[in-house]
């Protein structure tokens, strides 16, 4: 084996177990790749010293027979997850000096399972965007075509996975931010049911939508990571007490007789591999049928009203008084204004201004409440569909990645970016994107079936 970074997470685990190489060797290989491909700007912060120390500790644990589920596996962590003692910025200037004194629950679980931190990956500022161009630290380049964006907001994680600069990475979704870059970078991505993963220590964008999840080279790799991250956390009252199955053991590649719905509204634009994939699932014994999701079109509007309303509340905490960057002023008000004006980028400020309006007395009545009502109707679309079918199947993002130049002129806001992604965020159902850009959405808490079908979808090359 010449290049250890060629191995998937699952194969690397096997190699470590069989003592073909150590975690230190594997980690060094990834650190080398990160250095070689630094121009992609996939990482905001690299933590090579910490990585080597963690790898060494991992090797010692393994030698003592105390290997965890992800023992020795080097990972990238989206810079929305607070990592104790390691700078965490949310890709914003306002947090450019923030070193969290605590660790997110989901990342703590990865370390407890033996994983190794390689660094913090780039994202759109506060996860607001679909391209990473809103990052204060510059755009990430798509490893398959460096003139193009990696998608977003978890674009640094997707690029790092695609370019073999980590074995897997964490991401977050609020309105599609794992599946979008997974599709653009041709990697697998999964966001579990809302409430599966604790949001404790994940920098908040819109709390009723935010979901931690994963990106990796295969669905099996994703399953292995998510089963470690998921589970109840007393520090997040919205996290579920439900038991977390060993998802990776449930990938039996058998979808015979499974009912798969294709939403009519998700077929407006279809990628080149679509027909072949539909035929493939039929050949595997699935029963495919069309379903109606009549409120799909409204999801984008509903998403923006709700997410911006929640964002303006969540981001009020960045006032220069407690932590993060402070810009002084003559008065306290001036200090607040200077800090927020210089600390946040344009996109974040725009969203907060709109969010303030949507949650004002008039805006609340005219926009926020109607959006919540529409959110219920979107939920009903899913409930009705799942009376007939086990999962839904569609493209994740039906367009090809756009260039960085196009992103600067608004391509990241184009309608086909998030249409097929946002409804499943508004309803909290589990959803994932296979490394061929096709997505599967499932019933609440039925993460296992989504992963199982995705694993089959991924066999269609």
Contacts with ligand GLN by CB under 6 A lie at 127-130, 153, 173-177, 205, 418
CA nearest 27: which of 72, 71, 68, 66? 72
Residue number, nearest CB to ligand GLN: 177
Task: Please give the full DSSP string across 380-443, using - where no structure is assigned.
Answer: HHHHHHHHH-SEEEEES--SPPPBHHHHHTTGGG-TTTTTTTHHHHHHT--EEE-TTSEEEEE-
Signed CA dihedral, 299, 302, 305, 309: sign only: negative
Cα distances (Å, whole numbers) of residue 236 to 67, 82, 104, 195, 426: 28, 15, 11, 9, 19
Pick 70 or 90: Cβ nearer ligand GLN = 90
> Max Cα separation, the chain?
71
Q: Is 234 exposed, middle or buried (0-12, 13-18, 19+ CB in 10 A)?
A: exposed
Strand partners, 119: 46, 76
**In this complex, which beta carbon is closest to ligand GLN, that of residue 72 or of residue 401?**
401
- The nearer residue to ligand GLN, 175 or 401, going by C-beta atoms, is 175
In the complex with ligand GLN, which residue's Cβ is closer, 175 or 355? 175
Shortest distance (Å) from residue 225 CB to ligand GLN = 19
**Alpha helical stretches, state H, 97-218:** 105-112, 155-162, 179-185
How near is the Cβ of 269 to ligand GLN at its closest, in Å?
A: 17
Question: What is the smallest separation between the CB atom of 106 and ligand GLN, expressed in angstroms?
Answer: 16
> Cβ contacts of residue 394 below 8 Å, gap of 6+?
262, 263, 266, 267, 420, 438, 439, 441
- Shortest distance, CB of residue 352 to ligand GLN, whole angstroms? 13
The CB-of-5 to ligand GLN minimum distance in angstroms stands at 28
List, by residue number, the catalytic residues.
78, 153, 177
């Amino acid at each position: 084996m010449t290049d250890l970074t060629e191995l998937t997470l699952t194969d690397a685990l096997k190699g470590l177990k069989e003592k073909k190489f150590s975690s230190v060797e594997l980690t060094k290989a990834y650190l080398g790749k990160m250095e070689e491909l630094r121009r992609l700007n996939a990482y905001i912060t690299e933590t090579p010293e910490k990585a080597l120390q963690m790898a060494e500790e991992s090797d010692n644990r393994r030698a003592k027979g105390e290997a965890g589920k992800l023992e020795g596996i080097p990972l990238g962590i989206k810079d929305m997850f607070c990592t104790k003692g390691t700078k965490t910025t949310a890709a914003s200037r306002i947090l450019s000096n923030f070193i969290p004194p605590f660790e997110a629950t989901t990342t703590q679980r990865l370390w407890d399972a033996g994983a190794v931190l390689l660094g913090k990956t780039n994202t759109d500022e506060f996860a607001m965007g679909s391209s990473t161009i809103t990052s204060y630290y510059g755009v990430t380049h798509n490893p398959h075509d460096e003139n193009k964006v990696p998608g977003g907001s978890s674009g640094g994680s997707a690029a790092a996975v695609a370019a073999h600069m980590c074995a897997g990475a964490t991401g977050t979704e609020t309105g599609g931010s794992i599946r979008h870059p997974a599709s653009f970078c041709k990697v697998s991505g999964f966001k579990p049911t809302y409430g599966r993963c604790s949001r404790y220590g994940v920098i908040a964008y819109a709390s009723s939508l935010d979901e931690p999840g994963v990106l990796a080279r295969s669905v099996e790799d994703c399953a292995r990571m998510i089963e470690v991250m998921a589970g109840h956390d007393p520090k997040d009252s919205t996290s579920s007490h439900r038991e977390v199955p060993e998802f990776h053991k449930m990938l039996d590649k058998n979808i015979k007789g499974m009912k798969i719905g294709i939403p009519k509204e998700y077929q407006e634009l279809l990628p080149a591999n679509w027909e072949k994939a539909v035929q493939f699932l039929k050949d595997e014994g699935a029963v495919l049928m069309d379903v109606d999701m009549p409120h799909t079109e409204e999801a984008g509007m509903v998403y923006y009203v709700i997410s911006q309303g929640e964002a303006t509340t969540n981001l009020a905490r960045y006032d220069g008084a407690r932590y993060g960057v402070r810009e002084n002023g003559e008065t306290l008000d001036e200090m607040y204004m200077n800090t927020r004006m210089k600390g946040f980028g344009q996109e974040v400020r725009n969203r907060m201004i709109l969010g303030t309006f949507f949650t004002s007395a008039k805006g609340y009545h005219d926009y926020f409440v109607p959006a919540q009502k529409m959110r219920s109707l979107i939920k009903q679309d899913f409930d009705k569909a799942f009376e007939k079918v086990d999962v839904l199947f569609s493209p994740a993002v039906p367009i090809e990645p756009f260039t960085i130049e196009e992103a600067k002129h608004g391509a990241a806001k184009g309608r086909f970016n998030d249409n097929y992604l946002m409804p499943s965020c508004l309803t909290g159902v589990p959803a994932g994107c296979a490394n061929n850009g096709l997505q599967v959405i499932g019933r609440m808490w039925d993460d296992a079936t989504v992963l199982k079908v995705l694993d089959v979808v991924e066999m269609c090359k």
